[in-house]
Chains A and B, each alone.
Chain A
Amino acid sequence: MSADASRPLAEQVAAYTQLSPDAAEAQQLVQALAAALDARRLVLLDVVQAMGPMLSGAVPDPVARARVIHLLACVLGAMDPASGIVATHAATLLPFFLARLEDQPSIEASIQGLLNLSLTTIWSADQIALIMSALVSDIALQQFPQAARHAVFSLFDRLLDANLAQMQQHNDLVVQAFIHALDGEKDPRCLLLAFTTAQRIYQHFTILADAAAAGADPDDASLAETLFDVTSCYFPITFRPPPGDPFGITPEQLKNALHPLLVAIPENAPFALPFLSEKLTAESRHARRDAMEVLALGHALAPHDVVPYLGELWSSIRAEVVHAHDDSGERAALAAITTLTTVLARDAARIDAFLADTIERDVVRKLNDPDANEATAHGKIVAAVMSGLAKAAAGPSIALQTRLWHAARTTLLRRARGGAASPSAADGAAAPAAPTPETESTSSLAERRAALEAIHWLLRASRFSQFATASEPHPMAADGQTLFEIEIDALNSHTAHLSLTLEAILGLKDMLLAPRLLTPERQTETRHVFMSLLTLSGSARDADDRDAIEATFIVAARACAEQHPDWFDLEAMTPYRLALGQPAQPDFKPSPDSPFASLLHVFVALAELEPLTQSHLLQLFDVAETYVTAAPSSSPHALTTTGADHLVQILDAVTQIVQSRIARTSKPMPDAQAASSARQHQADAMTQLLAPPHTLVHRALAMAFSRALTPHAAAETAVAALVRTLVQRADAAQQQQLADTLLPALWTATAAGPPACMTAVQAAAGRSFALDTTPYVPFAGVTAAAVQAVVCHLRPATDLHLPEGLATMHAWLTASLDAPPSDASASLAATLATLVNKLGSDAQVTAWLSGPGMTRLREAMTKPMAHPEAWILNTLAVYRMQVKACMLRWHPSTEAELDVLLGWMDPAVCPNADLAGHAAAAVGVIAETDSTTGILTRDAYATVKYLVSQRFFARCLPRLVAGFHAAEASRKPVWLTAVSHLIRHVPRKALLTELPRLVPLLLVALRAGDAPLRVATLDTAAMMLQDAPETFARDLDGWLSALIANVGIGPSPRSELARLAQPAPGSASGAMPVLQGWTTMPLRVRQKALEVLARVPDVLTREQLEPHAKAVMRCFVLGLDDRKRVVRQTAANARLKWSLFLGQANGSGSATSLVVQPPA
C-alpha cells in the first residue's frame, strides 16, 4: 500500500507528522494512500481513524494535529476525481473539517481539505449553510498565509461551479461569507480570483441595497454597500508587478476584473456614482481614466440613479475630452459619454432633458466659440452621444443632429473656408476669395483646421443616425455641395498646409461613408476624387509629407474598403493601375515622380482586408508580369534599371501580401476548434493561390527563368523569395506537382540550352517569356536562386526523381570546383546540402559521400594551402553545409567529415590562421539548427533527428577541448573560438552538464580571447550564474579575478583615471602609473563583465564573497568614471548591489579613495 506497507497505518501516519511536507517519503505516503482509496482497499474513515491519537488529544501536540489534517487534505487532493468519494464519507468529513476550523494551527490544512473534498462532492443546501457559517464566524482569514487565503477563494469558485442552486438558497449568508473573506486581502493572486468570483456573485445572487429589506438593522450598511466597500477600496489599481514576477499577474488583468464589479448592479449606483464622481477630480490622470473606464461599463445603472450626479459627471468627463492628455484618456471619456447616453435613453423624458439642457447647450456654444479651440472635442462628444443613442435604438438622434448642425453650420462653414462664406451656402452671404497661403495667418489656419475636424466628427456622428423613413435626408444634406468644395479647397492647400490636406483626406472619406449625404452623381464624383488622392504624394514637399499623406490615405481607404471592397478592385482603379506601370512600349520607363512606392504600400495595406487579399495579390502579379512580357526579344537588357527596381518593389509587395495572409491565419487561437478552423482556412487560401492550371508558383518560377531578369540580381532575389514563400506553404500534392514539372528536366539539362526545365515550367504556367539563349551553365544565374528556392523547401516525402539527380549533383559539384568562385556558390551549397539531407536512406548518403564530386571536395579540403584563398573559402562554404546536412540526419560519417574540417585548426595542415578561424566559425554554422537563412530547418522540412544538437555537442566538445589542450599557444584562441561558436547554439540543459569541464577553457578565453570571444564567454558565465551557481562557486577565485580583469579601462579613460594612467608629474622617469596593469577593454566587454559581477551577489552567499569583496569593490571605481554611460550605469548598479549585499556604509574600498590596484 505505502512505501513501507508492512507497518500499520497508524504508525505511518504518526511517522508522517515528523516529516517535512516536501520530503519524498511524505509524498510517497500521500500517493500510496490515495491509490489505496481509489482502489477501494481502504476507506476514508480508516485514514481518519488512524489519525485518532493525534486528533483526540491523547498526543497534545497542535503541530502534529495540523500535520495529520494536512495529510488527509493532501490524500483527498491526490485521489482520482473519477473514483469519487462516497457521499456518506464526505458528509462525515465535512463536519470534521469544519470543526477543525476552530483549531488555530489546523485551519490552513482544514481549508485545503474542504477544497479538495468539494472537488468531488455536491453538497446539500444545509451543508452549504454550514460551510458558509463556518467561514463567516470561525476564521480571521487575513492572518493566514497566501496559499490558505487562495484556497478559500478557490473553494468559493468551486462551490459556485457545482453547487450554485444550493448556494442561492442561502443568498445573504454566501454574500456575507464572501465579503468576510475578501475584506483586507492584499495578494494580487488572491484578488484576481476573488474579483472573478465577485462577478459571479453579482450575477447569480440578489444583493439588496436596503439593509431593512434584508431583515437587518436599518442603520447597518446593506450587503450591496458592504460588498461595494470591500471591492472599491482597491480602486484605482496601482499594482506594479515585481521584476521577474513568476505569476505573471498584470495590472490590466486586475483592472479588467475589478472595474465591472463597481457598476455591476443598479443597487450600486448610490455608492458608485459619488465615488466615481470624486475620482474624476483626482490629481492622477490614471485614476481619472480608470474612473471613466468604470463608467463606460455602467450599462446596468438606471436613468433615475444617474440624473442626480449627471452635472458633476458631465463637467468632469467633458473636461477630459477637451484637455485630453493622451488617447487612452480621451477614448475612456468618450466611451463613458456613450454609456451614460445609452443609460439615459431608456427614459425618454430624461434623455430629452439631457440632450437639450446639457449636450445641445454646451456643444452649440463651443462650436460657435470665437476661439474655436474646443470645437473638435465637442464634435467628438456629439459622435459619442450619437453612438450611445444608436446603441439604445433611441429616436431623437436625427432631430438632435439637425438642430446642432443648423445652430453651428454658419460658423463652421465660414471658418472651414478660412473666413470666407460659401457661394452656395444657404445663408446667402457674399463669397470672399479663399485665403492664399501668404495671407492666411497661423490662427486662422488653426481655426480652419478645427472647424474641418468638427465638421468631420459631425459627419462621423451621422453614421449612427437612425433614419425614421427611407426618404428622410441626412441632416447635413443641404450643404453637401458646400462641404465638397471646402474639402477640395483644403486638399489644394497641400503644398502650404499639410495638416489641412490630411484632414481633407479623412473628410472626403467621411462624406463618402455618411448615409444619404450626397446624391448618387455627387457620390460617384467624390469617389473618383478620393481614389485619385494618393497621387498628391507625388508632389509632396519632402519624404515626411509623402509618408504622412500615404499613411492618412491608407487609414481612410481601409475605412472605405471595409464597407465597400468593390471600390478598391485594382482593375477598377484605373489611375493607380496605370501608375504602377504600363510597360507595353519597349522604351517604357516608369516616372520617378509617380507615387509608386506609396501605391504599393496602399495595396499591401488594403490586401489585409479579407475580401481584397486574393484579387490584389493576383492583380499585382499580373502587373509584375507585364514588365517581363514587355521585354523586347532583340534587346540583351530587357528592363531598364528603374523598371527592374519597380519590378522588385511589386514582387516584394506580392510576397508581403502572402506572408501577411499566412501570419493572419497563423495567430494563436483560443481553443483547438478555432485553431483547426484557422488551419483549414489557411490551407484553403493557399490552395486557391496555388491552384492549377496556371498556378502562382509556376508563374513566379517562369518569371525567374525569363531572360528579362538576367542582368538584375535584385529582381532574381525578389522572385526567388516569392517562390520560396509559396513553395513552403504549398501542400504535399502541390509540391509534388511542382517537383514533377521542374526536376526531371533539370537533372537532364545540357549545355545546348535553353534547358527543358524552363520550357516545362513555362508550359505549366501558361506563359512564354523570352528565355536566355546563351549556353547553359549548370547551376548559375537565375537557375541557382530559383532552384534553391524550390528544392530547399520541399517535403522529404516529395519524389525528387533521384537517382538520375545524383549524377547531376556530382556534375554540379565538380563543375563548381572547376569554375571560378561565383555568387551562385551559396545557392549551390544550400541546394546540395538539402538534397543530401532529404535522401531516402543512409546508404544513399554514403553513396553520395563516396561519389566523385565529394571525393574531389574532400581532397581539396585536406590541402587548403594548395589553392587560392577565395577558392578554398568557397569550397569550405559547400563542405560545411554537407557536414551540417549529415549531422542533422545523424549520418555515421558525420564525425569523419567533421574531422576533415577541424583539420584546418592544425598548423601543419593549415598554417594560415585566418583560414583556421573560418573553420572554427564553420562549427557554429553546423551547430545552428534555427538558421536565419531558412535553409536546413524544420520549417523547411529538413530531416532533423531527435536530440541531434545534444548529440553533436556531446561528440564535438571533447574533440575541441582535447584540441585546445594539445594545441600550441598560438592556435589555442582558434580552438576557443570554435568552442564559443559551439556553445552559442547548444541547448542550455546540455551545456549545463558539460560546464564543469568547460570552466578552465572559459577562464582562458576571458584572459586571452578577442572581444567577441570574451563577450560570448561572459554570456555563458551569466547563464552559469543563473542555472549552475555551484559550478561557478567552485572556481570563484578564477572567475572573479577574470571578471575584474575584463572590467579594464576604456580606450581613452576620463579625467582622473587618465591622470592615473600616466606617471605622476615631476616623478622620476619610469615611475609606475597607478593604473599600470589594467588593460584596455572594448565597450561590450567592460559592460558585460560588470553586468556579470552585478549578478554574483544574487546567487552566492556572504561567506563565499566576503574574502573577494575588497578587490571587487575597487574594480567598480574604474567603471564609475568610464567615458561611456552604459558602463557607468552598470558599474553603479553593480556597486550598489554589492554594497547592499555586504551591508556596509560605503562598501569596502570606498569610492572616495581612488586606490586602484591592478587585477590579480
Chain B
Amino acid sequence: MAQLSNANPTVYSASKSAVRIASLGDWDDAVDDPIDAQEVYDLVRHINDPEHPLTLEQLNVVQRANIHVDDAASQVHVVFTPTIPHCSMATLIGLCVRVRLLRALPARFKVRITVEPGTHQSELAVNKQLNDKERVAAAMENKHLLDVVHQCLSTTTDR
C-alpha cells in the first residue's frame, strides 16, 4: 500500500454542541425549517477520510463554524481544513463533500467548496479544481475515483 500522507492524525471528539436538539416544531407541517449550516454539517460530518477509518468530523476537517449557508439566495460555502499542509488527499476530500452535497441538496443551491486559507500548500489549485464543474464531472467519469468516493460516502447513510 502506498505511504499515507498523514500516518498519525490527531483525533478529535465529536462536539456535543454540534448536535441539533429535537423540538416539537420538527414534526409540525406548518413550521418552515430553513436549510442552515447545521443541516449541511450533518450531511458531511460522517464522510469517511480516504486514508483512515475516521470521519471528517473526527479529524476536524469539517467544522460547523466553517460552513456558511444562505437559504434565500440558495448558496452554500463549505470551508474545509486538511490535516496537514501537504495532504495529497485534499482534492479527493473536497470531491467527496461536493458529491455528497450534489446528491443531498436541492438543485437550486450553488455550492462552493474551498480549503481554509493558509492550511494547504496547493490551496489555489485545489480550490480551482473543486469549483470547476467540468473537472468535477470528468472526475466522476473515472470509475476508480467514483468507487473511492462511494467508499468514503458509504459511512454517511442511516445517520
Contacts and interface: CB of A to CB of B under 8 A. Distances in A.
A1051 B28 CA distance: 11
A1056 B103 contact: no
B100 interface: yes
A1082 to B, nearest CB: 6
Contacts of B10: 283
A34 interface: no
Contact of B150 (A1083, A1120, A1140): A1140
B26 A1126 contact: yes
Given A1132-B43, A1146-B140, A1154 B107 contact: yes
B136 to A, nearest CB: 10
A1126 B31 CA distance: 12
Nearest to A285: B13
Nearest to A1153: B107
Interface string B128-159: 00000000000011000011001001101111
B105 A1120 contact: yes
Contacts of A1151: 102-103, 105-107
Contacts of A1153: 107
A418 interface: no
Contacts of B33: 1123-1125, 1128
Given A1128-B39, A1145-B140, A286 B107 contact: no
A1125 B13 contact: no
A1083 B29 CA distance: 6
B36 to A, nearest CB: 9
Contacts of B157: 1094, 1133, 1136-1137, 1140
A1125 B103 contact: no
A1135 interface: yes
B27 A1132 contact: no
B29 A1051 contact: yes
Nearest to B156: A1136
B107 A1050 contact: no
Contacts of B29: 1050-1051, 1082-1083, 1124
A243 interface: yes
A1094 B158 CA distance: 9
Nearest to B159: A1133
A283 B8 CA distance: 12
A497 to B, nearest CB: 28
A291 to B, nearest CB: 15
Contacts of B103: 1132, 1135-1136, 1139, 1146-1147, 1151
B104 interface: yes
A1118 to B, nearest CB: 10
A286 B13 contact: yes
| Size bracket, chain B contacts | 35 or more
Interface string A1115-1151: 0010011011110110011011101100101110001
Contacts of B140: 1145-1146
A1056 B39 CA distance: 19
B109 to A, nearest CB: 9
B104 A1136 contact: yes
Interface string A1049-1089: 01100111000000000000000000000000011100000
A196 B90 CA distance: 42
A589 B125 CA distance: 80
Contacts of B124: none
A1152 interface: yes
A563 interface: no
B54 to A, nearest CB: 9
B107 A1117 contact: yes
Contacts of B100: 1136
Contacts of A238: 11
Contacts of A283: 10-12
Contacts of A1139: 103, 150
Contacts of A1145: 140-141, 146
Interface string B73-115: 0100000000000000000000000011011111110000000
A285 B12 CA distance: 9
A1056 to B, nearest CB: 5
B42 interface: yes
A70 to B, nearest CB: 34
A1132 B153 CA distance: 12
A1132 B108 CA distance: 15
A1140 B153 contact: yes
Interface string A396-417: 0000000000000000000000
Contact of A1146 (B28, B30, B35, B102): B102
A1157 to B, nearest CB: 15
A1140 B103 CA distance: 11
Pick from A1117, A1128, A1135 the residue with the most CB of B within 10 Å. A1128
Given A1125-B26, A1128-B35, A1146-B140, A1136 B107 contact: no
A1144 to B, nearest CB: 8
A225 B13 CA distance: 31
Complex A-B, nearest 9 residue pairs according to Cβ-Cβ distance, in ascending order: A1132-B104, A1121-B106, A1125-B33, A1145-B140, A1083-B29, A1120-B106, A1056-B108, A1152-B107, A1123-B32
Given A286-B13, A1146-B102, 14 more contacts: A243-B158, A283-B11, A1051-B29, A1082-B29, A1083-B29, A1120-B105, A1125-B35, A1132-B104, A1136-B100, A1137-B158, A1140-B153, A1140-B154, A1151-B107, A1152-B102
13 contacts: A284-B12, A284-B13, A1054-B32, A1083-B27, A1094-B157, A1120-B104, A1123-B32, A1123-B33, A1128-B33, A1140-B157, A1143-B146, A1151-B107, A1152-B107
